[in-house]
Amino acid sequence: MRLGRIASPDGVAFVVIEGDSTHSAVCREVAEQYLSRNPTFTGRSWPLADVRLLAPILASKVVCMGKNYAAHAREMGGEAPEDPVIFLKPNTAIIGPNVAIQLPADAHPVHHEGELVIVIERPCKDVPAAKAADYILGYTIANDVSARDQQKKDGQWMRAKGHDTFCPVGPWIETDVDPSGLDIRTEVNGTVRQGSNTALLLHDVGAIVEWVSAVMTLLPGDLILTGTPEGVGPIEDGDTVSITVEGIGTLTNPVVRKGK
């Protein structure tokens, strides 16, 4: 089941998206003011082609995994640490599909990072890995946009990864997908930059939920970005970034430079 959030001629709505083709898919409005695997329908619906997809969830926080693919850790100049590394992006960084990533005028270079995302369904604290699936609504896609010069200068990652628009999310949440072996690909202007598989995650979904929920309570709608594979690289004004995760879909965003 695909769960999403749309802007329609009638306003903003949470929906279930049915159908495989953009031209024939239908968005069925759900009555609840949140997304769940057991929605109640209002009876209203819109063709997907007639609405605008928004970021599918309004997260209270965005938790990110650093260096969770060995090859990416090496391309960044080191080996992956034994324990997971986590950091936060503010929820104000979240944007939806087709919304522009805005590069700060003084940030060079800014990199794309395509990632599989865990979406939490219910309050989650001290959850063992074996029970993680009981707390997961589904999976979506994100771009952990990162200003590398600020990351290096600051010695920590909050400013570099926390700018407004630095967390594109979407296009929807897929509830029926096995996250353990999904191909993940990032393209910039149609050229493949990143190509990997979630089977190469150093810490899998269960381990991630266990580690993060031992630190903080996760709330419904919270997002956990699982880490990016090797191949990160710069994005520039005028580029288009598309991230595809097998079984979920494609998240596409244009890129603009602020101040132009």
Q: Please choose, from the candidates 57, 71, 244, 233, the residue with its C-alpha nearest in 3D space to the C-alpha of residue 145.
A: 233
For the cut 70, the answer to whether the pLDDT of residue 126 exceeds it is yes
Segment 226-232 mean pLDDT: 96
68 CB neighbour count, 10 Å cutoff: 27
Looking at residue 81, its pLDDT comes to 82
> Around 155, how many Cα atoms within 13 Å sit in the side-chain half-sphere?
0
Q: Would you identify the CATH topology of the domain 62-257?
A: Fumarylacetoacetate hydrolase; domain 2 (3.90.850)
Mean pLDDT of all residues in 208-217: 98
3-class secondary-structure state, position 244? strand
* Residues 85, 185: Cα–Cα separation, whole Å: 23
Q: Reply yes or no on whether the pLDDT at 34 is more than 90.
A: no
- Cα separation, 53 vs 74, in Å, equals 36
| Cα 1 to Cα 18: distance, rounded to the nearest angstrom | 8
Tokens of 86: 């986590």
**pLDDT tens-place string over residues 157-171:** 999 999 999 999 999
CATH of domain 2-54: 2.30.30.370
The residue among 10 and 62 whose pLDDT is bigger is: 62
**What does the pLDDT read at residue 28?**
97
Q: Is residue 21 predicted with pLDDT exceeding 80?
A: no
Higher pLDDT, 145 or 76: 145
Check pLDDT > 80 for residue 40: yes
Three-state SS at 2: strand
Structural domain boundaries in the chain: 2-54, 62-257
**% pLDDT > 90, the chain:** 86
Over residues 28-41, the mean pLDDT reads 90
Bond from prior residue into 39 cis (ω within 30 degrees of 0): no
Mean pLDDT of the chain: 95
Preceding peptide of 9 cis, ω within 30° = no
Which segment of 75-89, 110-124, 136-150, 238-252 scores lowest on mean pLDDT? Answer: 75-89
Q: Quick one: average pLDDT of 69-93?
A: 87
| CA-to-CA separations, 213 to 120, 122, 127, 160, 225, in angstroms, rounded | 11, 12, 6, 24, 14
Say what the pLDDT of residue 260 is. 60
Average pLDDT over residues 5-23: 90
CA nearest neighbour of 62 among 34, 87, 95, 98: 87
